[in-house]
Amino acid sequence: MARKKNITKDNLISWYMEFVLENNHDPKSVFSFAKENNFEESDFYKFYGSFEAIEESIFSEFFNNTIKVLAKSEEYPDYDARNKLLSFYFTFFEVLTANRSYVVYAIKENGDLKNLKPFKHLKQDYKTFVNNIGIEKIDLNQEQLGKIQDKTIQESSWMHLIITMKFWLDDTSPSFEKTDIFIEKSINARFDLMDIKPLKSIIDFGKFILKEKINFK
């Protein structure tokens, strides 16, 4: 039988996920993996250098698929940061649910949810996404403090995603409806806590006091 040609990255991911779910371990070698799926071993290396590289890319592909779905919405670009994040979460967890068996396998195989190697690329993709959705920040007029603020928002957002994934993994409700409630309530709570309007008013008042040199004595 002629070997398959023009295989894609999606082909390799799909075959890899199917293999590990059926066998509960990685393929023994790239050679055996290629032979089983009827393609040339050399074609594997056009996309990945190892099975670990595939594993690290899968959650990033889940992220990319989420962004592609969001990009199809004409309304999404006009959403504020809160609703962009809500839309991302609901879509991302639909993607995870469609691949739940693999997600459970990957987490079980790699242990600590916070430090999973398969999340390596997802973490960076997600932090970049959060940094670009227009979350309102305090104008600190100091580059170093601004970087600290950005990092704090990115890291706390990443931890929130991990916590939500843990909730989803433990959720036994029909259609994971409790996870949907958790997403909505937790994201709304985060944005309410991050509301900087009252703090901006205090800062503006403080600047006024300093400028006018008001003496309270």
What is the rounded average pLDDT for all residues in the chain? 86
Whether the pLDDT of residue 207 is over 70: the answer is no
As a whole number of angstroms, the distance between CA 142 and CA 164 comes to 33
Question: Which pLDDT tens digit goes with each residue over 172-200?
Answer: 999 999 999 999 999 988 887 765 454 45
**Residue 208 pLDDT:** 46
Average pLDDT over residues 76-103: 96
Neighbours of 134 (CB within 10 A): 11
**Residue 198 pLDDT:** 46
Is 65 in contact with 95 (CB distance < 8 Å)?
A: yes
Query: Measured in whole angstroms, how far is the alpha carbon of residue 210 from the centre of its chain?
Result: 43
Q: Which residue has the higher pLDDT, 153 or 133?
A: 133
| pTM of the model as a whole | 0.84
**Residue 205 pLDDT:** 44
Average pLDDT over residues 34-53: 95
**Residue 2 pLDDT:** 66
**Residue 64 pLDDT:** 97
**Residue 51 pLDDT:** 95
**Residue 28 pLDDT:** 95
CA angle 81, 74, 153 (to 5 degrees): 15
Question: Which pLDDT tens digit goes with each residue over 106-151?
Answer: 988 877 676 678 898 999 999 999 999 988 765 656 556 557 767 8
For residues 12, 31, 122, 170, the Cα torsion angle rounded to the nearest 10 degrees is 90
